[in-house]
């Protein structure tokens, strides 16, 4: 009974809420997509992205977590297809009432994407992408803050861009990811099979371009639902479903040298959880900068 009560408290505070994955978070953002109007004039087969980030989450249960680390991407293009791999690492500091309760460095899941740009004309770009994620370590979400979801996943993403004028672009995206059960242990070494369930995102944004510069601002809505755990606590797990809003602004500078496209980006976002009210995030602040090179 004591073990079940402990698990009740742990799962309610941590399950699906204490794990952060940058490879999934950044993948829905327009800046991490591949087919864009301002790249169509170049026939580049490879793209490399190097990114550094810092994300701070303040939860309503007086627990705060800071993630600081790096993110890397490799993209290969063939005609209207692309193959992509994303990975990341982060140092984690977790505090409760300003007292440090966990500190460590972990790697994120590895996310693979295979996409096809099936609409490509002077006004519209529409890309369909299949997603496949694999964990790099076992989940620690029932013990402390975790980096990466620690579960295999399959998903699909639909991205679209419409050229409103020579300097203005409207962008949108939809994504669904399904996660599969994996093992996790609580602080008393009890073993559980669980899945964070499903992740769905809606994305809308505008981009303004002038010369080598661009300013992008947008909104994403994220929905986590359908978590499963064995031994079963379905009445508890359902309360870990969450709805999250995120508003962001991004500045980009692009330069081309010998047909090599270089992009430098700065990003800031503010987010919060609409639910759950008791253990959700009061606010989430994210800063990152990146360098993209296509050749």
- Spell out the domains of the chain, with CATH numbers in brackets: 2-294 (2.40.160.40)
Per residue, what are the HEC states of the chain? CHHHHHHHHHHHHHCCCCEECHHHHHHCCHHHCCCCHHHCCCCCCEEEEEEEEEEEEEECCCEEEEEEEEEEEEEEEECCEEEEEEEEEEEEEEEECCEEEEEEEEECCEEEEEEEEEEECCCEEEEEEEEEEECCCCECCCCCCEECCCCCEEEEEEEEEEEEECCEEEEEEEEEEEECCEEEECCCCCEEEEECCEEEEEEEEEEEEECCEEEEEEEEEEEEECCEEECCCHHHHHHHCEEEEEEEEEEEEEEEECCEEEEEEEEEEEEEEEECCCCCEEEEEEEEEEEEEEC
Report the share of the chain in percent with pLDDT over 90. Answer: 49
pLDDT digits (tens, 9 = 90+) for 84-143: 999 999 999 999 898 998 899 999 999 999 989 888 788 888 989 999 999 998 877 777
Residue pair 127/118 in contact (Cβ under 8 Å)? The answer is: yes
Q: Tally Cβ neighbours within 10 Å of residue 293.
A: 15
Residue 286 and residue 268: Cα distance in Å, rounded?
6
List, for residues 18-73, the tens digit of each pLDDT value: 578 999 988 665 444 555 665 555 567 888 999 999 999 998 888 899 999 999 99
What confidence tens digit (pLDDT) does each residue in 174-183 have? 999 999 988 7
| Torsions phi, psi for 5 (to 5 deg) | -65, -40
Mean pLDDT of the chain: 84
Pull the structure tokens for residue 253.
């500078």
């Amino acid at each position: 009974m004591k073990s079940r009560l402990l698990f009740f408290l742990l799962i309610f505070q941590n399950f699906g809420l204490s794990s952060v994955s940058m490879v999934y978070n950044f993948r829905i953002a327009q800046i991490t997509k591949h087919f864009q109007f301002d790249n169509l004039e170049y026939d580049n087969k490879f793209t490399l992205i190097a990114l550094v980030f810092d994300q701070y989450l303040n939860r309503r249960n007086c627990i705060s977590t800071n993630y600081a680390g790096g993110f890397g991407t490799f993209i290969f293009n063939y005609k209207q297809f692309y193959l992509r791999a994303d990975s990341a690492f982060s140092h984690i500091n977790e505090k409760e009432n300003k007292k440090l309760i966990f500190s460590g460095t972990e790697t994120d899941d590895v996310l693979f994407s295979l996409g096809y740009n099936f609409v490509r004309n002077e006004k519209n770009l529409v890309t369909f992408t299949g997603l496949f994620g694999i964990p790099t370590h076992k989940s620690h979400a029932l013990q402390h803050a975790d980096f990466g979801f620690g579960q295999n996943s399959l998903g699909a993403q639909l991205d679209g861009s419409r050229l409103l004028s020579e300097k203005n672009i409207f962008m949108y995206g939809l994504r669904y990811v399904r996660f599969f059960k994996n093992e996790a242990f609580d602080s008393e070494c009890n073993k559980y099979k669980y899945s964070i369930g499903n992740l769905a995102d809606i994305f809308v944004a505008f981009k303004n371009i002038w010369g080598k510069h661009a300013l992008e601002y947008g909104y994403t809505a994220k929905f986590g639902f359908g978590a499963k755990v064995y031994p079963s606590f379905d009445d508890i797990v359902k309360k870990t479903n969450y709805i999250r809003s995120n508003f962001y602004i991004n500045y980009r500078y692009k330069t081309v040298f010998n047909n090599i496209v270089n992009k430098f980006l700065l990003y800031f976002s503010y987010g919060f959880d609409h639910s759950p009210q008791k253990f959700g995030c009061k606010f989430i602040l994210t800063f990152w900068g990146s360098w993209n090179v296509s050749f």
